[in-house]
Amino acid sequence: MTATSAPARGGISSSAAGGGVPSARRRRRLPFSPWHLVLIPATLILIFPFYWLLVTSLETSSEALHFPPILVPHTLRFANYTDALNSAPFGHFFINSAVVAVLTRC
């Protein structure tokens, strides 16, 4: 009994192609998924509001209200966070929310 081999892909035999690699129309693969061409720009667009939130929270009042908007603040004002926490009783608000969340869970 003799074994016969199936023809190589693309109709080119492995001996004729020189080492088993067909030379006709070799498909080149990207090092990433084509979806990345859509997802990376979409991610940058969706991250921008969070960047805007952070930048605006660190700007002075005049910089935050300036038009056209300032994307890089001249001075970082971290005191804005302490001013916001001291302007309202956030501890009381937190306890109220925790009580409501616990009582509605029961």
- Looking at residue 66, the DSSP 8-state letter turns out to be -
The predicted-structure confidence for 44-94, as pLDDT tens digits, reads as follows 999 999 999 999 999 998 999 999 988 898 889 999 999 998 999 998 999
pTM, to two decimals = 0.56
Residue 7 lies in a domain: no
Nearest to 63 by CA among 74, 79, 53, 52: 74
Cα–Cα distance, 57 to 87 (Å, whole number) = 15
pLDDT of 5 > 80? The answer is: no
What pLDDT score does 34 carry? 84
* Number of domains the chain is built from: 1
HSE-CB for 82 with a 13 A CA cutoff: 3
12 domain-assigned = no
Using CA atoms, how far apart are residues 36 and 42, in angstroms rounded to an integer?
A: 9
pLDDT, one tens digit per residue, over 12-33 is: 555 555 555 555 677 778 788 8
56 domain residue, yes or no: yes
In a domain, 27, yes or no: no
Structural domain contains residue 86: yes
- Domain of residue 66 covers 33-105
Asked, for residue 91, whether it belongs to a domain, the answer is: yes
Q: For residue 26, is it within any domain? A: no
Give tens-digit pLDDT for 38-56: 999 999 999 999 999 999 9
Is residue 18 in some structural domain?
Answer: no
